[in-house]
Amino acid sequence: MTVSATPFAPWLGADPAVARLLAAEAERQSTTLQLIASENFTSPAVLAATGSVLTNKYAEGYPHRRYYGGNRVIDEVEDLARSRATALFGADHANVQPHAGANANLAVYQALLQPGDTVLAMRLDHGGHLTHGSPASITSKIWRFVSYGVTPASEDGTGEVIDFDQVADVAKREQPKLIVAGSTAYSRVIDPAPFREIAQAVGAMFMFDAAHPAGLIAGGAHPSPVGLADVVTFTTHKTLRGPRGGAILCRADLAKAIDGAVFPGLQGGPLEHVVAAKAVAFGEAGAPEFPRYAAAVVANARALAESMSAEGFRLVSGGTDNHMILVDLRPFDPELTGKEAQEVLDRAGITCNRNTIPDDPRSPFVTSGLRLGTAAETTAGMGPAEMARIASLIGRTLRARSDEEAVAGIRADVRDLCADFPPYPSLVGLDGSQGAAGAG
Ligand code: DSN
């Protein structure tokens, strides 16, 4: 079986080394389970826009205010992406140029804050992101971050949710200029309303980092922060299922500051091929079937959570409301680290990432947890029955982790499961042909 890596793979004949690597990665994505919560399978249309001639064009500036000639078509591309983004989320203004979610966050800080200003954001070891003030991130070197976390774990499974009393207390004590909601490893709904209330009470601005739930918000499965937050940042490649990249939504009165902070404040020329692919993704997320996808992602995460619990795993916060679950491996096996689990699951063809759990006694490089997401395999067509099979495959792998023969057997089962749910059926040629880009 050959798998064509992109609709343009035939042109890679001149570079067999890269062609081989693209095909190998396409094969990996089609024959192993993709459970990384921040990943997805884009449509062939998104792939096509990303691999297009728009990559050739310099377009520093914004539509109709560029520093280079020849941007008539590019202006239309970016206008289309901006208008689709604002329509999709009901926002006044969109900046679609951030190369990544991290850039989007940095640009917002730069637009709204002075160096040294205080920002209140989620603790990294409770699920916050690097750009929420990690000591390793430039953000903590420019601004002063204080943090909130989740409530302690409780026997009845109701703990490990955002501690809004703590958010309010720290906000009152520290008087931040900006409060940030959002996380990379939190499996519950993040309600923007209490954040907004607390921000208003202390006179802070409010930024909602929707990197993970953007697609769930667009699909109506999660509450929208637009209209409550002053600024919303998000990535386009996670639950939103677009190309890798970031974007910012804001009120009209902040548009100039936000745009100036992205370019020339932080970035140079925008990646207009990616902006075109963002436009495609915004169009797809606005289509009538997208809410069904968003609901299915959440239903699959719940089914996976239930089956993982039945396998003997403890779930942080007791379950999920979104596209991910955070697994505490310690009750399953106190000796098993997130690092070892990730590595043996990789050998079994189950791709996921180790993750710290709240108050993890192990380092972020080792961890006691695993993060699993359902956005990608839901795109590939899997449902609750497949989630139960996946939980069983994970349990079998981790129980048999020192038995390489057993792990190889599970790898074969994973391959069989994936064969029924190819992410790019239109790019797979069973007869050695490249296949045709088309329906996904
Ligand atoms: N690395 C992303 C994630 O996996 O959640 C966040 O930037």
pLDDT, one tens digit per residue, over 57-66 is: 999 999 999 9
Question: Among residues 78, 105, 62, 427, which one has the least CA distance to residue 263?
Answer: 62
Residue 38 CB–ligand 1 contact under 6 Å: yes
Domain range enclosing 401: 289-440
Same domain (yes/no): 305, 403: yes
Residue 184 CB–ligand 1 contact under 6 Å: yes
Dist. CA 263–CA 283, nearest whole Å: 25
pLDDT at 428: 53
Provide the CATH number for the domain around residue 259.
3.40.640.10
pLDDT at 36: 98
pLDDT at 431: 29
Return the structure tokens found at 281.
Answer: 């993704």
Same domain (yes/no): 353, 388: yes
Same domain (yes/no): 281, 357: no
pLDDT at 157: 76
Q: Which atom of ligand 1 is nearest to the CA of 131?
A: 7
| Average pLDDT of the segment spanning 381-393 | 98
Whether 187 is in a domain gets the answer yes
Res 23 pLDDT > 90: no
* Residue range 226-259, pLDDT digits in tens: 999 999 999 999 999 999 999 999 999 999 999 9
Same domain (yes/no): 341, 215: no
Q: Which atom of ligand 1 is nearest to the CA of 100?
A: 7
Same domain (yes/no): 264, 144: yes
Provide the CATH number for the domain around residue 403.
3.90.1150.10
pLDDT at 353: 98
pLDDT at 434: 39
Backbone angles phi, psi at 162, to 5 degrees: -55, 130
Q: Which atom of ligand 1 is nearest to the CA of 184?
A: 5
Question: Among residues 322, 323, 338, 344, which one has the least CA distance to residue 393?
Answer: 344
pLDDT tier at 7, thresholds 50, 70, 90: low
Site to probe by mutation for ligand 1, drawn from 39, 40, 124, 129 as the one with most ligand atoms within 8 Å of Cβ, is 129
Residue 235 CB–ligand 1 contact under 6 Å: no
The answer to whether the Cα torsion of 184, 322, 201, 260 is positive or negative is positive
Question: Among residues 284, 324, 328, 329, which one has the least CA distance to residue 300?
Answer: 324
Same domain (yes/no): 232, 341: no
pLDDT at 4: 53
pLDDT tier at 366, thresholds 50, 70, 90: very high
Q: What is the dihedral of CA 332, 334, 337, 341, to 10 degrees?
A: -30
In percent, the amount of the chain with pLDDT more than 70 equals 95
Same domain (yes/no): 296, 416: yes
pLDDT at 432: 34
Residue 423 alpha carbon to ligand 1 centre in Å: 21
Averaged pLDDT score across all residues of the chain = 94
What does pTM read for this prediction?
A: 0.95
The domain boundary, picked from 229, 256, 285, lies at 285
Res 173 pLDDT > 90: yes
The domain boundary, picked from 285, 318, 340, lies at 285
Whether 334 is in a domain gets the answer yes
- Better pLDDT: 21 or 250: 250
Cα→Cα distances 371→186, 215, 306, Å: 9, 18, 15
Catalytic center residues: 58, 60, 209, 235, 238, 244
Residue 184 alpha carbon to ligand 1 centre in Å: 6
Residue 69 alpha carbon to ligand 1 centre in Å: 36
Domain count, the chain: 2
pLDDT at 426: 73
The domain boundary, picked from 285, 320, 351, lies at 285
Res 436 pLDDT > 50: no
Residue 101 CB–ligand 1 contact under 6 Å: yes
pLDDT at 1: 42
pLDDT at 201: 98
| Average pLDDT of the segment spanning 43-50 | 95
| Average pLDDT of the segment spanning 295-304 | 98
